[in-house]
Amino acid sequence: MENNWAKGAITGVSGPVITAETDSCPRMFEAVWIAGGALDSRAIDSRTMASKLPGEVVRIRGKTVDIQTYGDTTGLAAGGEVYFTGKLLSVDLGPGFLGQVLDGLGRSLGSIESLGSLQGGGAPDLPLWHFTPAAAEGNTVAPGDLLGTVEEGKLFIHRILVPPVSSPQAIAWIAPEGDDYTRRECICRLADGTELSLAQRWEVRVPRPVRARLPLDRPLWTGRRGFDTLFPLAVGGVAAVAGGVGTGKTLVQRSLAAGCDADVIVYVGCGGRGSETAEMLEEFSQAERRGIPLRERTIFVTSTSSMTVAARDPGIYLGMTLAEYYRDMGCDAVVVIDSLSRWAEALREIGNRLEESPGEGGYPAYLGSRLSSYCERGGQAETLGGHRGSVTLISGFSPEGGDFSEPVTQTGLSRAGACWRLDKVLAQARRFPAMDLARSYSLYEEAVSDTLAQNAGQDWPDLKEYLRDILSRARELFDSARFAPTSAFAPIFASTFDSIFDPILAPTLASNRSAGEIALSEEDRWILFHAETIETVYLRQNVFDLQDSCPARSAAMLRLLKALDDRVRSFLKDGLPAAARVSMRAELAALWDLPGDFTDKGREWLALFTAELAARQTADQEVAL
Amino acid sequence: MTLNQEPNREFKQKCSRKLYRQGSRGIKGITGSLLFVENMTGVGCGELVTLWGDPVNASSLEEFAKTGQVLQVKDDLCVVQMFDDAPGLETGRATVWMERDVAKVGVGEALRGRILNGRGLPADGRSLYGLEEFLPAKGLPPGLRIPPNGAIETGISALDLMNTWVRGQRLSLLGGPGLPAGEIAARMAARALIPGKDGDFLVIFAAMGVTGREADLFIETFERDGVTDRSVLVLNKANDPVAERLLAPRVALTVAEYFAFVKGYDVLVVMADMLHYCDALREISALRKEIPGRGGYPVAMYSDLAELYERSGCIAGCPGSVTQLSVITAPDDDVTHPVADLSGQLLDGQIVLDRELHAKGIFPPFNVQASLSRSMDRGIGRGKTFDSHRVLADQLRSAYVKARETRLLRAAVGDAGLSEVGKLYLKFGDAFEKFFVGQKGRERQLERRTLAQSEAKAWEVLSELPVEELSCLPQTLLERKIAIGAASPEKSGEPEKK
């Protein structure tokens, strides 16, 4: 241990929280090392290096300090030593994070034995970097200015910037272009003697500064067409994915992390299943998006349920800090957290150990303010270097027992601009994503509509309105046709409906029974069928559906679906039966696979379909005559 | 900072000197199975302690010496949780000795076929020799794990075909009280095997808070299925100490990890019943006057359950695996009950038992619609089971969901309101439940079906539906199905024994 660190002594141990006494002046959230294992070291977490545990100060009362620990406290005894490092938990930001798996403290999980120190852990054991200077000696540089670049992976150009803490001054010396720079090596000396390296240290709980906040005006295309069309998310916004057990939250978030149109994804596994990380790594290593393996643009921070509960708290801050670091380079970064409910539970557990007076549902009263200040770290901004960068936050919420009124979900939803709710019934019917259309919402629609109209065509608002109308009409029809209104999305059962309800008997039935019965007109039946088609072709997607869906393609498909609807309805108006075919769904779906613009192909198909329909009608008429 | 350096060697030596025993007579208070002890200088959190009672009045060694574990240290005071009930304990005369060690479990091949108590000591009246190692019950953090892989065959169609269980996966068996969850779990465990791999699973059964009748049932099932010599039963009955119930699954998992990751076995751990385990957690938590969470359960229950459930899976470069099956009773069939809810978030899937099917006499009464296996795709498909596994499962599920929906409609509109296709769906639903899900053999035995037999059964029940309705299946498969349908005209014949 370093000699200048202040010391303290353990006085109490309770689960992941220890109490210590010290004569020094500890700081709130100061990083500490705890030593004091009294027992056989084999009994102690090998990950925490025998008897040394990292921790963070969470409460100070006079000389008594409460510390949350990031490891197993088994074997810690009163009298054990605590070392106060004088710094907050921090991370060495620099090249080498993309594709890595980190734990909540920023230590690389691939090489758990060769850990760095607590400050600036997470120097993944990486090769040397190729540095290309962009500034010259004598140039005056301010925080956020570009010093040079490093190629990270095959395609990512990592911009090395002057850290936010220094003042504008001249460069005294800058390293020449070369292949063999380590992260910590000095690559630039400023006039005042400050040495800068590829990596810069940053305290994870402190937001990185920006020059100005920018309004949210661009849509973030997530690749999930249902979300993008009906409940769009803005770049720099906050989205909540909420759903009970088994509604596919994790899969939805994974598919968002895979498909969303951003430069860097930070995926924070917070309190989830340990096996998920392994699965996700495997999938992300194999899948590609626009020719780039997904893993190369993703950083994984895992504080899964197999790890100590307290580590979930620094985990989400680490994820945010990493995203902010890439934002400062002018990137669009997305933080995906699965899930913040688990983080809130960790706060509750620690709060409980600290014997704090609980707020609603036993959660600490400061949950709301912590969550707010966390969410506010996202957003679109003009960086110190004058670029436009953003951090978008997509977070999961898992309400206990599927009860959305519980405090964490409600707090989370009040901070989120887009809420994507998932429905259990749909999930059980294996619809993916199991989006609850009735109760999801987005507050960004207005803000992003201009940009969307530019990308997708001026008729985009109409198309969206059309989609919303037909889906809600179908739901109404279905609800009124069934006796008990269902919360589920109606088109699920539309086909059931279609095949099991005898259209001839239905009117008879309606006259025999009380109100609320089914007497579906030909047009209603078509609406149900068409809504189901839209659901199958447009809304439903595989988890790893990485077709390069962009607003223009989605708009083209919607236009086609709308045109189809119009054509068929014009037939219906003539009082003729619609010969809708199930195979038409497959044909429509096949259009997605065509590369590039499929508008012309779509038109051809529609013409063919209409001709066939007309031919069948003529045949029907002849039979009738 | 160098990491290899031992910063507090002096302190450690002071504490771990074993020349004399350290202890205290300062028992300040007793509540339930918790002791509050003073003057335990240097006692570690989680340390094992021995309590010596009154040497004069004790009639046996068991009554004289009892063990416990330090839960919490606060200044001079420490909280000790006793594993034994201690009636008649005198605060003045008893001594609490520090053991300078954590709770450990003796492991070795000698455990095969044995019955242990919740602390890992033999409970079948025979002595235990030949233990190879003593491992901490808390377990060590596993290295980076690899995702579950390789389908498990249980001989139950609703599982093997529709909710495939995969090696290294954690499943729960969820059902209300009165449903035969324990019995099914025991049978699933006894019959599970990995096709193409030599040897069956080694079954570690942690029975927590079970009644004597249930315990007998488990032992009997294992004997009848010839599993006894490849099983270890960790038994904590309903009348055994509550604190021991918290240790029982940890003992079972420690034994499991030893067999899996040291000896290379495929191990199956069955934990029944998690509700009793969580009730024990609640009991201890209440004694410690912790602020209760939902349903009175401690707020740390999620982490505690995670500690158990996460001790599973496969490790890269190790042939063995730990697969888990947890039985969870949902009080009053409420699947949003905290125990079921939290477990659902932590586990890789759930098999739900259906009271309606049970009432119809269908065994096993699996509710296929509500069941879910999150790892299924890792174990099935081309080269693993059969090519059309996924589409067939999807088709069965979608048809069954439609059949159940049709039943609801029939309840409202009567048979007359249903179309011909609707009636066929009803017929399919009944056949599916009776012949596909239900596989009761003679004398309440569970008929064993190979995957091929399950597949044949699936086609058989699907033949109730017109071909046009089978929209999930590709054309080539349907043609094959029609060919098979022509070849085997009998509908519900007993499939041939393996």
Q: Does B108 touch chain A (CB under 8 A)?
A: no
Segment B339-354 shows an average pLDDT of 92
For chain B, the domains span 20-102, 106-376, 389-487
Q: Does B450 touch chain A (CB under 8 A)?
A: no
In a shared domain, residues A576 and A478: yes
**Across the A/B interface, how many CB contacts are shorter than 8 Å?**
238
A123 vs B429, higher pLDDT: B429
Q: Which of B6, B74, B469 sits opposite A12 (nearest CB)?
A: B74
The torsion angles phi and psi of A623, rounded to 5 degrees, stand at -60, -45
Does the distance separating the beta carbons of A273 and B346 come in below 8 Å? Answer: yes
Does the distance separating the beta carbons of A37 and B422 come in below 8 Å? Answer: no
Q: How far is CA A141 from CA A192, A199, B251, in A?
A: 12, 17, 62
Residue A64 is predicted with a pLDDT of 94
In a domain, residue A107? The reply is: no
Q: Does B422 touch chain A (CB under 8 A)?
A: yes
d(CA B140, CA B104): 12
Q: How do strand B34-37 and strand B77-82 relate by DSSP bridges?
A: antiparallel
Assigned CATH for B389-487: 1.10.1140
Residue B498 above 70 pLDDT?
no
Does the distance separating the beta carbons of A278 and B147 come in below 8 Å? Answer: yes
Instruction: For A486, name the nearest residue in chain B, comparing CA atoms only.
Output: B405
Residue A209 is predicted with a pLDDT of 94
Residues across chain A:
625
Residue A47 is predicted with a pLDDT of 36
d(CA B380, CA B166): 9
Task: Look at chain A and report how many structural domains it folds into.
Answer: 4
Q: Which two tokens stand for residue A322?
A: 């990493």
- HSE on the CB side for A545, CA within 13 Å? 21
pLDDT digits (tens, 9 = 90+) for A239-256: 999 998 888 899 999 999
Helix (H) or strand (E) holding B285: helix B274-287
In a shared domain, residues A150 and A71: no
Q: Determine the structural domain holding residue A265 and report its residue range.
A: 212-446
d(CA B341, CA A399): 10
Q: Which of A11, A35, A76 sits opposite B75 (nearest CB)?
A: A11
Residue A496 is predicted with a pLDDT of 42
DSSP state of B20: S
Angle between helices A551-573 and A522-534 (to 10 degrees): 160
Residue A347 is predicted with a pLDDT of 93
In a domain, residue A110? The reply is: no
d(CA A552, CA B132): 67
The last residue of a domain, from among A406, A422, A446: A446
Residue A113 is predicted with a pLDDT of 32
Residue A362 is predicted with a pLDDT of 87
d(CA B31, CA B171): 36
d(CA B253, CA B259): 10
Instruction: For B2, name the nearest residue in chain A, comparing CA atoms only.
Output: A1
| Residues of chain B positioned with their CB less than 8 A from the CB of A53 | none
| Residues of chain B positioned with their CB less than 8 A from the CB of A73 | 45-46
Instruction: For B403, name the nearest residue in chain A, comparing CA atoms only.
Output: A496
Q: Which two tokens stand for residue B305?
A: 């359950």
Does the distance separating the beta carbons of B417 and A39 come in below 8 Å? Answer: no
CATH C-level class of B20-102: mainly beta
Q: What is the CATH number of the domain that holds A65?
A: 2.40.10.170
DSSP state of B240: S
pLDDT digits (tens, 9 = 90+) for A360-419: 888 999 999 999 999 999 999 999 999 999 999 999 999 988 888 999 999 999 999 999
The candidate with the shortest Cα–Cα distance to A402, out of A242, A248, A240, A250, is A242
CATH architecture of B106-376: 3-Layer(aba) Sandwich (3.40)
The torsion angles phi and psi of B172, rounded to 5 degrees, stand at -115, 155
In a domain, residue A102? The reply is: no
| Residues of chain A positioned with their CB less than 8 A from the CB of B471 | 582
The torsion angles phi and psi of A447, rounded to 5 degrees, stand at -60, -35
Segment B101-119 shows an average pLDDT of 90
Q: Does B12 touch chain A (CB under 8 A)?
A: yes
Please provide the DSSP assignment of B372-396 as one string.
EETTGGGT-STTTS-TTHHHHHHHH
In a shared domain, residues A241 and A310: yes
Residue A2 is predicted with a pLDDT of 54
Residue B335 above 90 pLDDT?
no
Instruction: For A582, name the nearest residue in chain B, comparing CA atoms only.
Output: B471
**With bands split at pLDDT 50, 70 and 90, how would you rate the model's confidence at B485?**
low
Residue of A115, A250, A306 to mutate for B, most B C-beta atoms under 10 A: A306
Q: Which of A35, A76, A282 sits opposite B147 (nearest CB)?
A: A282
Segment B214-219 shows an average pLDDT of 91
pLDDT digits (tens, 9 = 90+) for B27-81: 888 888 889 999 888 888 888 888 887 666 666 666 677 889 999 988 888 999 9
pLDDT digits (tens, 9 = 90+) for B313-325: 888 778 889 999 9
Q: Does B197 touch chain A (CB under 8 A)?
A: no
In a shared domain, residues A190 and A218: no
pLDDT digits (tens, 9 = 90+) for B389-402: 988 998 898 889 88
The complex scores an ipTM of: 0.83
In a shared domain, residues A275 and A330: yes
Q: How do strand A140-141 and strand B202-210 relate by DSSP bridges?
A: unpaired
Number of CB atoms found within 10 A of residue B262's CB? 15
Residue B231 above 50 pLDDT?
yes
In a domain, residue A96? The reply is: no
Does the distance separating the beta carbons of A501 and B406 come in below 8 Å? Answer: no
Residue of A500, A502, A508, A511 to mutate for B, most B C-beta atoms under 10 A: A500
| Residues of chain B positioned with their CB less than 8 A from the CB of A50 | 6
| Residues of chain B positioned with their CB less than 8 A from the CB of A500 | 402, 406, 409, 418-419, 421-422, 425
Residue type, B133: E
Q: Please name the residue ranges forming H helices in A190-262.
A: 225-230, 249-259
d(CA B70, CA B103): 10
The last residue of a domain, from among A158, A173, A201: A201
Are the beta carbons of A486 and A479 closer than 8 angstroms? yes
Residue A529 is predicted with a pLDDT of 80
Contacts with A, B 43-102, CB within 8 Å: 43-47, 72-76, 100-102
Does the distance separating the beta carbons of B72 and A78 come in below 8 Å? Answer: no
Residue B8 above 80 pLDDT?
no
Which of B270-279, B303-312, B441-450 is predicted most confidently? B270-279
The candidate with the shortest Cα–Cα distance to A526, out of A599, A446, A581, A485, is A581
Rg of chain B over Cα atoms, rounded to whole angstroms, equals 26
Rounded to two decimals, what is the model's pTM? 0.87
Q: How far is CA B56 from CA B52, B53, B84, B192, in A?
A: 11, 9, 20, 52
d(CA A265, CA A97): 11
Residue B486 above 70 pLDDT?
no
Residue type, B364: P
Instruction: For B101, name the nearest residue in chain A, comparing CA atoms only.
Output: A39
Q: What distance in Å separates residue B12's CA from the closest CA in chain A?
A: 6
In a domain, residue A366? The reply is: yes
Residues in chain A, pLDDT under 70: 1-3, 36-51, 110-127, 479-520, 547-549, 573-583, 624-625
